Amino acid sequence: MLFDAPSPTVAQVSVDSPLPHLDRLFDYLVPTDLAARVRPGCRVKVRFSGRLLSGYVISLTSGSDYHGRLHPIEKLVSDESVLSEEVASLARAVADRYAGNLSDVLRLAVPPRQARVEQEKPAEAAGTIVEPPAAGWRRYAHGEPFLTALAKRRNPRVVWQAVAGEDWPTRFAEAAAASAAHGRGALLVVPDQRDLDRLDAALARVLGPDRHVCLSAASGPAKRYRAFLAVRRGAVKVVAGTRAACFAPVESLGLVAIWDDGDDSHAEPHAPYPHAREVLLTRAQLAGCGALVAGWARSTQAQLLVDSGWATAVTADRAQVRRSSPRVVPVGDDADLAADPDSGAARLPTPAWRAAQRALRDDLPVLVQTPRRGYLPAVSCVNCRRRAQCQQCSGPLSLPSAQGIPVCRWCGRPAADHRCPHCGDRRLRAVVVGSARTAEELGRAFAGVPVHTSGGDRILEQVGSGRSIVVATPGAEPPAGDGYGAVLLLDTWALLSRVDLRAEEEALRRWYAAAALARPADDGGTVVVVADGGLPTVQALLRWDPAWFAERELATRTQLRFPPAVRMASLSGSPQAIAEFSSIASWGDEVEVLGPIPVDDRSERLLLRTSRRHGARLAQLLHKAAATRSLTKPGDVVRIQIDPRELW
C-alpha cells in the first residue's frame, strides 16, 4: 500500500543584506526538528552564498516556485514571533516608497534581541481604559467630533493646530484613550526624549498605570525590548515613542499620531531615510485607522494633507486664539530704527529690554532664544573684518570663552598664535554671538537675577515660576511653571538666511515652539521678535496664524515645482558613481533631471523631479537601477534619498 509523503514546509525568508539586487524573499526548507517551532515573524540564520546570515521568516508555504535544491534553515535564533504580518507589509511599503531594501527597514522596525528578556514572565494584559472627557478638545472646531469618531471605531484623519499654552500631551493621551477604551490601539510619536517624558506622564495620568509603554533608544536595550514584547504579545495597546516606534506592532490599530512633524528628529538618518510622518500616514492607509498630525505650527506637508482633502483641519476660532496667545512685538523695521537708531546694533533692542524688565519686575521668568550654541561661534579680524580661519584646514575659528584661545570648529586645533593673514592683526571680534556669551551679557545687565542656559547636552527640563532668565537654543526651551512673562527671539537672521528650501518654515516652527511657552497677552505675556515686521514669517507670528503661512508657502512651492508639491529624489556620490548610475537608469519623460551639481571636492549630487502621481514609479526606477549596479560590485556607493530634507 502506498502513502503520500507529507509536503515539506518552505519558509520565505527576508535575508539581512544591504545589496539591492537581493531585495526579495528567498525560500528555505524548514527542518523536521524545527517544524513545530518555526513560524512567521521569528528570527533565523540561513546559509547564503557560503555565509551565515540573519533573517526573518515572512511566511510559510507547502511548496516553492524555485526549481533548484533548497537549503534548509541553519538555525532558529528564537521562536518568538517579533515581526507581525502588518509590520512586515508596512516595512515593504516603506522600502518601496523610499527606493530602499526591506532588510534595512526591518532593522529599524525590530529592536535587537535580548535573550534574557524573552525568558522573563510575559507582561499581564493592561486593565480597562475609561473613555476620556472631551472638554479639552471642545475649544477646537471638529475637535470633539474627532474624539467621538475614535470612540465609535471610525477612522478620522485630522491636522491639529494647537493654541499657545495648550497641554498637548494631555490632548494626545485623551485621543489615545478614546481609541483604546473601545478595543483599538494607539501609536503616538514625538520628536525627542523630553517630549516623550511629558507624554509618558500624561498617558499615565489619563489612562492609568501600566496601560501603555514607551519605545525609545534612550530607554536602554533591555527595557526597550521588554516594552516591544509587551506590545507584540498583545498585553499593551497604547505605545508612545520616538521615530522608530512608528513600526511598533500594535494590535487592532485605531490611531496613529505625530507631534511637531516638521522637526528634523523625525527624519531617519539611516537608509532608506524614511520620515516618521510618512511612515505613520502609510500605516494609517494600510491599517485603515485614524491619523493625527499636530504641532504649534503647520508644515507644508500637513497643509498638503488638508488641501487635498485627505485630512480635516482642527483649529480654534480667532477669539480663542487671541485669548490664548501672547502679545507679539516685532523689532527691526525702518520705523523702529528711526525711533531708536542704536537698537540696530544693540544685542538687546529697547523693546526687548523693556519686556524683560517688566516680566522680571512682575516676578516672572524670561526666555531668550538664540540660534547658536557656544560663546563666540564665529570671529573675524578687528582691523579688516575678514573671517578668522584655521591655518591647517581653513575652517572657521571660534572662541570658547572670554579668556579662551581660538579653536577651529572643524578640526578642533587650537590657534593660540593666530594672526590675520591679510593685515597681520591678532585681535578678534565677534561675528556670531552664542548662547553662553548671551547669558554672560544678560547676567551683567540684570544683576542679581539668576541666568540659566539650556542647550546641547545640558537641557533644562523645567524652570520655576519666579524671576529668572533662561537662554536656550531652539528645541531646548524648558517650559515654565505658569508660563514666561517675556520671550525674546534674538538673531533671527541666523535662521532666516540659511541656504535651505525650508529656512522660513523652519524658523517659524522654532519661533512658535518658544512663543507658545509665554503667558497669554491678558496675563502679561509678551514675545519680542528681533526681525522686520513686514516679513511673511513675522506676520504669521504676529497674527498667530501658521495655517496662513503654510498655505502661502505651499502655493509658492507648487508654482516653483518644489516638494511637497512634487516628488524629488537625490543621488549623492562620486562623479564616476553618479555617471555610472545615470547610464544604467532610464528615467522616462515624466522625470526631470537637475544637475549634477558639486557638493565638495570629491562628490556631487543629482536631483530628479517628478509629479506626485509618478512618485512611486520614480522610486521603482531608482531601486531597479541600484539593483542592476550592485550586480557589478561597484566600489563607490550612491546614496539615494527620496524627498531629501536638503536639496542643495
pLDDT of residue 411: 82
Cα–Cα distance list, 295 to 1, 383, 397 (Å): 73, 46, 37
Given a cut of 70, whether residue 612 has pLDDT beyond it is yes
Residue 433 to residue 374: CA distance in whole angstroms: 8
Least confident of 198-207, 305-314, 376-385, 439-448: 376-385
Residue 246 has pLDDT above 90, yes or no: yes
1-22: b (≥16 Cβ within 10 Å) or e = eeeeeeeebbbbbbbbbeebbb
Strands 378-381 and 428-432: antiparallel
Mean pLDDT, range 78-86, rounded to an integer:
94
Distance, CA of 103 to CA of 91 (rounded, Å): 9
Query: Binding residue per annotation — 408?
Result: yes
- Averaged pLDDT for residues 116-122: 89
Q: Is 393 annotated as a binding residue?
A: yes
CA distances from 222 to 113, 130, 217, 247 (A): 9, 30, 10, 18
9/33 Cα distance (integer angstroms): 12
Q: Is 381 annotated as a binding residue?
A: yes
Task: Using a pLDDT cut of 90, give the percent of the chain over it.
Answer: 66
Preceding omega of 596 cis (within 30 degrees of 0): yes
pLDDT higher than threshold 60 for residue 58:
yes
pLDDT value of residue 2? 38
Average pLDDT over the chain, rounded to an integer: 90
In sequence order, which residues have a C-beta less than 8 Å from that of residue 479 and are 6 or more positions away? 462, 463, 517
Other CB atoms within 10 A of residue 65 CB: 7
CB 640 within 8 A of CB 630: no
CB atoms within 10 A of CB 53: 18
Question: Please, which residues bridge with residue 487 across strands?
Answer: 367, 527
The mean per-residue pLDDT over the stretch 73-85 comes to 94
In this prediction, residue 401 has a pLDDT band, given cuts at 50, 70 and 90, of confident
| SS3 (DSSP) at 268 | coil
420 is in an annotated binding site: yes
Decide if pLDDT at 8 tops 90: no
Tell how far CA 537 is from the center of its chain. Answer: 22
**What's the grid cell of residue 297?**
505650527
Mean pLDDT of 272-300: 97
Residue 258 makes CB contacts below 8 A (sequence gap 6+) with: 188, 189, 190, 266, 276, 277, 280, 292, 293, 294
- Residue 5 binned pLDDT confidence (cut-offs 50, 70, 90): very low
Alpha-carbon distances, residue 631 vs 128, 279, 396, 625 (angstroms) = 54, 29, 43, 10
When pLDDT is cut at 50, 70 and 90, the band that residue 3 belongs to is: very low
Nearest to 46 by CA among 17, 75, 3, 79: 75
* 386 vs 423: CA distance, rounded Å: 9
The SS3 assignment for 12 reads strand
Instruction: State pLDDT tens for residues 125-151.
Output: 777 888 888 899 999 999 999 999 999
Higher pLDDT, 166 or 422: 166
Average pLDDT over residues 404-409: 83
Stretch among 176-190, 370-384, 462-476, 561-575 having the lowest mean pLDDT: 370-384
Check residue 422 and give its pLDDT.
Answer: 82
pLDDT at 361: 94
- Give helix 143-151 / helix 168-180 axis angle, nearest 10°: 30
Q: What is the pLDDT of residue 336?
A: 54
Q: Which three cell numbers stand for residue 260?
A: 511637531
Instruction: Tell me the angle at which helices 546-560 and 503-515 cross, rounded to the nearest 10 degrees.
Output: 170
E strand residue ranges, 65-162: 73-78, 157-161
Cell numbers 528567498: residue:
26
**Ligand-binding site membership of 384 (annotated):** yes
Q: What is the pTM of this model?
A: 0.91
Say if residue 607's pLDDT is above 60. yes
Q: What strand order describes the sheet that includes 592-598?
A: 592-598, 604-611, 566-573, 639-642
423 annotated binding-site participant: yes
Strands, E assignment, 80-216: 157-161, 185-189, 213-215
Q: What domains can you pick out in the chain, each with its CATH number? A: 1-81 (3.40.1440), 135-320 (3.40.50.300), 325-557 (3.40.50), 566-642 (3.30.70)
Digit-coded pLDDT (tens) for 515-548: 999 999 999 999 999 999 899 999 999 999 999 9
Residue 346 or 549, more confident: 549
